[in-house]
Structure 1
Amino acid sequence: MAADERPTPPPELDRVDREALEEFTKRDAATLREVSAYLEEVAAWKERREGADDESISDEADAEPYPDGVPERATVSVTEIAGTEYDYYQWREGDEIRSETVRR
């Protein structure tokens, strides 16, 4: 590859991946090397997780079910009020934003 020829991204990337890569092309070489090293570590971590014998590591297996009336696409955050933890669910129905708070 010539020094002035920009590398071509892998063809199997989706739109979001391509947009992320486009943003990285604006960074300096040192930052790209740091990000590359980090991504290698993340890939190794994911491979270790996927190869683990214990199936309970899966985020979905650990997830608690949503309360009745709360769609699975709701965003969940944990809030602590006066020493008590609550799950705060928030989702959109049409133009309205709905929410529900449930004690943990």
Structure 2
Amino acid sequence: AVGGLPGRPETIKAAENQVQQAQSELGQARWRLSKRVLAAPSAGRVNDVIRNPGDTAGPTAPVISVLPDGAVKLSVYVPETAFSSVKVGTLLSVR
């Protein structure tokens, strides 16, 4: 019989406030979770892992290096005698 009686206004208001508080906390938790997801700005593949689990990284410190799809990274050995003749933009023949 008591269960069918309407709740007191202050009890109802307190419960509504608890619901609102819980919804706010849920929204904050979802936002914090979204900030833990790393997403590359474009498609590609991981080229280098710069930081490992447990390493400290600041807000601007890179964690991985991503090579865009279709791009090629080439590492070459340049003899010291030829080093001065190679500049940024120099065309090279790769065999």
Please, what TM-score do these two structures have when normalized by structure 2? 0.27
Task: Tell me the TM-score normalized by structure 1.
Answer: 0.25
- Structure number with the higher strand fraction is 1
State the structure with more CA Rg: 2
Q: Which structure has the higher relative contact order (CA within 8 Å, separation 6+)? A: 2
